Amino acid sequence: MTTHTSFTLNGQPVTTAARPDMTVLDLLRNEMSARGTKEGCAEGDCGACTVLFRRGGQEGAELLAANACIMTVAQIDGGEIVTVEGLGGTKGVLNAVQDEMARNGSSQCGFCTPGIAVALSGLLARDPDPDEAAIHDALAGNLCRCTGYRPIVDAARAAAARLKAVDAEPNAAIAERTLVSSHTDASGVTAHRPHDLRGLLKLRRDHPDAVLLAGGTDLAVPLAGYETRWPVIIHTGHVAELRAIDTADETWTFGAAVTWEEALESVREEYPSFATLIRRFGSTQIRSMGTIGGNIGTASPIGDGPPALIALGATITLASLKGGERTMALEDFFLDYRKTELRADEVIVSVTVPRARQGEVMRTYKVSKRYDQDISTVCGAYWLRMDGDIVGDVRIAYGGMAATPKRAPHAEAALRGRALTVEAARAAGAALASDFAPLTDWRGSDRYRARAAAGLLERLARELSGETVEVMAL
C-alpha cells in the first residue's frame, strides 16, 4: 500500500498525498494551482467545475466530462484529468472551442466559461460532428446565468466546423496523454481500490463501516461542506466484474459500476423510452460518473433507474464472502425508506434486465420541474405484453409516490385482460389510490403527485393508441 495518489493532470504525471476524501475540485484549486476550474454550486448542478476524466486502467477510452466538486481523490488514482488549463495542450494556447467562444462572445462574467469550454471540448473529442441535440445535451449540466446559450451553441458549431475542416481525428480537441497507474492511500484516510470481486468482498467483510464509493454523485455531495469525512473508502470503479456489461440473447447483465452513460448505449435501440429517461438523468457529467449500482444502492424514493428497471422485471444480484451470491427481483430489494436487503458485508454485483421481445411495450415518463438536470417529482414506468388489443400482462412501477420505488398492483389488475382504452387507463389511475399514499414536499403535493401518476397512465393509453400527445417538458 502506498501513501500517495498518482494521476495525470493535463498530460503531466503528478503525485499527491492529499486525503482520499478530498474533492478533486479542492485538490485542483488548492494543491495543484489549477484554479481555472471553478466552484459554483458544489453539488453537481452547475457544471462550473467540469473537468475531463478517464479512470485508471481505461487506456484508450474516451475522456468524459465530470463534476470535480463531487469527485474524490479516491477515484482518480491511475486516471487522467484534463482541466481548462490543459485544453490547448500547451500553456497559453487555446483549443478550437476556447477560441470560438472568444470569437462568438460566448462569455460575459466568465464564471461558467471554463466548465463550458471543457464540456464542449469533451463532446467534440468523442463526436467531432455533433448535431444540435448533441450540443444541447452536452450543455445540459452547465449553467450560464448571464450570456445566454445562443452564442455558446454558435461557438460549439463553429469549433466543430473548424475541426472538420482540418479533418481532425476524434480527440484532436485535446492533446493525447499518457496514463500513470498506482494504488491509493493517504494520511489517516485510507482508500482501497480492488480490481476484482473477490478482493472487493474481502475488503467489504473487513471494513463493514467503510464508504463503498462508486461514482460518488450521491455520496460526495456533502463533502463540499467540509463536515463529512470518510476514514476508510472502498472504490468499486476498477472491479472488473462490476464494470462489465454482458449481452446475452434474452438479457443484459449490467455490473453495478457500469455508468448510466455506458448503459444508455445498450438500451437505446430496444427501449427508446428508457433511453430518453436516461438521457434526462442529471447531465453528461453526472451520467459519466453515476452508476446503476449507486442509483439502486442509494435507495432514494425518487431515483429514476429503479422504476424503469422494476417495470422491466429486472433482478439484482448481491454477494458477500460468507454468504456467496443471491439474486432477487429488484422490487424486493427495497424494504422501506432508504432501507434495503443489502447486508453489511454485501455488495451489489449486477442487475439483469430482460431484453425486448415481440408483442411487449415499455414506456417511462419523468415529471420534474425542469427538463434537464432535475430529479423526478414522479417517475412512472410501464411494461405491457399485448395479446392483440388486450393487455395480457402488465407491470407498473412508480418513483416519488412512496418511501421506496414500488409497483402498483391495483392499477395493474385494473388493466390486465382489458383493452388499453383511455377509460381503462382512467380506471387504473383511480386504482392508484389503493396502491399509494404519496407525500407532500417542495417538489409536489400529495394531490399533485396522485394526479400526475394517473395522468401518465392516460398518456400511456393515448400514446399506444397512436395519438400524438403534446406535453410540456415531460
The binding site for ligand FAD (CB under 6 A) comprises: 43-45, 70, 212-219, 221, 236, 242, 256, 281-282, 286, 289-291, 293-295, 297-298, 303-305, 342, 347-348, 373, 375
Work out the widest C-alpha separation in the chain, in whole angstroms.
68
DSSP state for residue 226 in the 8-state scheme: T
Q: Which one of ligand FES, ligand FAD, none interacts with residue 375, CB within 5 to 8 A by kind?
A: ligand FAD
Q: Compare residues 48 and 135 and give the one whose CB is closer to ligand FES.
A: 48
Q: Quick one: which of 8, 83, 98, 107 contacts ligand FES (CB under 6 A)?
A: 107
State the burial class of residue 269 (Cβ atoms within 10 Å of its Cβ: 0-12, 13-18, 19+).
exposed
Site for ligand FES in 56-75 (CB under 6 A): 67, 69
Q: Taking the complex as a whole, how short is the minimal distance between the CB of residue 118 and ligand FES, in angstroms?
A: 12
Using DSSP's 3-state secondary structure scheme, residue 195 falls into coil
- Give yes or no for residue 121 binding ligand FES (CB under 6 A): no
CA–CA gap between residue 416 and residue 473 (Å, rounded): 30
Q: Which one of ligand FES, ligand FAD, none interacts with residue 289, CB within 5 to 8 A by kind?
A: ligand FAD
Using DSSP's 3-state secondary structure scheme, residue 431 falls into helix
Q: Compare residues 70 and 425 and give the one whose CB is closer to ligand FAD.
A: 70
Q: Quick one: which of 36, 40, 282, 305 contacts ligand FES (CB under 6 A)?
A: 40
Which residue from 224, 200, 175, 199 is spatially nearest to 67, judged by alpha carbons? 224
- Give yes or no for residue 460 binding ligand FES (CB under 6 A): no
The residue of the chain with the least Cβ separation from ligand FAD equals: 294
Cell 495543484 locates to 32
- Give yes or no for residue 47 binding ligand FES (CB under 6 A): yes
Q: Which three cell numbers stand for residue 59?
A: 487506456
Q: Which one of ligand FES, ligand FAD, none interacts with residue 215, CB within 5 to 8 A by kind?
A: ligand FAD
Q: Which one of ligand FAD, ligand FES, none interacts with residue 145, CB within 5 to 8 A by kind?
A: ligand FES
Q: Quick one: which of 14, 111, 149, 354 contacts ligand FES (CB under 6 A)?
A: 111
- Which residues contact residue 283 at a Cβ distance below 8 angstroms, ignoring those fewer than 6 apart? 47, 140, 141, 142, 372, 373
Q: Taking the complex as a whole, how short is the minimal distance between the CB of residue 55 and ligand FES, in angstroms?
A: 19
State the burial class of residue 359 (Cβ atoms within 10 Å of its Cβ: 0-12, 13-18, 19+).
exposed
Question: What is the CB neighbour count within 10 angstroms for residue 384?
Answer: 22
CA–CA gap between residue 61 and residue 313 (Å, rounded): 32
Q: Taking the complex as a whole, how short is the minimal distance between the CB of residue 57 and ligand FES, in angstroms?
A: 25
Q: Which three cell numbers stand for residue 135?
A: 450540443
CA–CA gap between residue 35 and residue 120 (Å, rounded): 19
- Give yes or no for residue 151 binding ligand FES (CB under 6 A): no
Using DSSP's 3-state secondary structure scheme, residue 20 falls into coil
Q: Which one of ligand FES, ligand FAD, none interacts with residue 47, CB within 5 to 8 A by kind?
A: ligand FES
Q: Which one of ligand FES, ligand FAD, none interacts with residue 297, CB within 5 to 8 A by kind?
A: ligand FAD
Cell 412508480 locates to 398
Q: Which one of ligand FAD, ligand FES, none interacts with residue 304, CB within 5 to 8 A by kind?
A: ligand FAD
Q: Which one of ligand FES, ligand FAD, none interacts with residue 303, CB within 5 to 8 A by kind?
A: ligand FAD
Q: Compare residues 6 and 72 and give the one whose CB is closer to ligand FAD.
A: 72
What type of residue is 88?
Answer: G
Q: Compare residues 16 and 142 and give the one whose CB is closer to ligand FAD.
A: 142
Spatial contact of 179 and 59, defined as CB atoms under 8 Å apart: yes
CA–CA gap between residue 457 and residue 62 (Å, rounded): 39
- Using CB under 6 A as the criterion, which residues of the chain lie in contact with ligand FES when the complex forms? 39-42, 44-49, 67, 69, 107-113, 144-147
